[in-house]
Homo-oligomer: A and B are copies of this chain.
Amino acid sequence: MDFAEVARRLELEDLYTAYAACLDSDALERWPEFFTEDCRYRITSAENYEAGMPLGLIYATSKNMLHDRVSALRDANIYEPQRYRHIVSGLRIVGEGDGALDTEASFVVVRTMQDGEMILFAAGRYIDRVVRGESGWRFVRKDVVLDSRQIDTLLAIPL
């Protein structure tokens, strides 16, 4: 391991940390900025992922679609006064090529309701591809692969 590798690893950890902090602070309008223009974003189950099934609970093929998604969520205006807390662990680089890196990480999301009730909301893996542009690392592709087949929510939110 040389210094460039060490620095890259910490930069990637910063990317995942900033991503989680953005979602947990409900700053959804900034969420698309973690992606490239022609990104692909998907939330799917491990079962469907392993079966090679496309689509998913959320499926977007551009940053614009992510912006639309956020607008739809804001317009739906479902008042669920909950808070989410992402815990991300086990980030690793599993491949490299064409100027991009394939990265994976595990996550658990805890949801806290206003009355204090906490539940395990989601657990799974991020299976991602990232590139480094002028403004830092961005997701070209992000597959949010849930350990469960469904999640307990009225409207699918970004994970």
Contacts and interface: CB of A to CB of B under 8 A. Distances in A.
A7 B118 CA distance: 36
A34 to B, nearest CB: 14
Q: What is the total number of copies of this protein in its complex?
A: 3
A62 interface: no
A110 interface: yes
Nearest to A88: B89
The secondary structure that dominates the A interface is mixed
Interface string A69-109: 00000000000000101111111100000000000101010
Given A3-B3, A17-B90, A116-B148, A85 B106 contact: yes
A14 interface: yes
A89 B10 CA distance: 13
Contacts of A150: 116
Interface of A: 1, 3, 6-7, 9-11, 14, 16-18, 20-21, 24, 46, 83, 85-92, 104, 106, 108, 110, 112-120, 123-125, 147-152
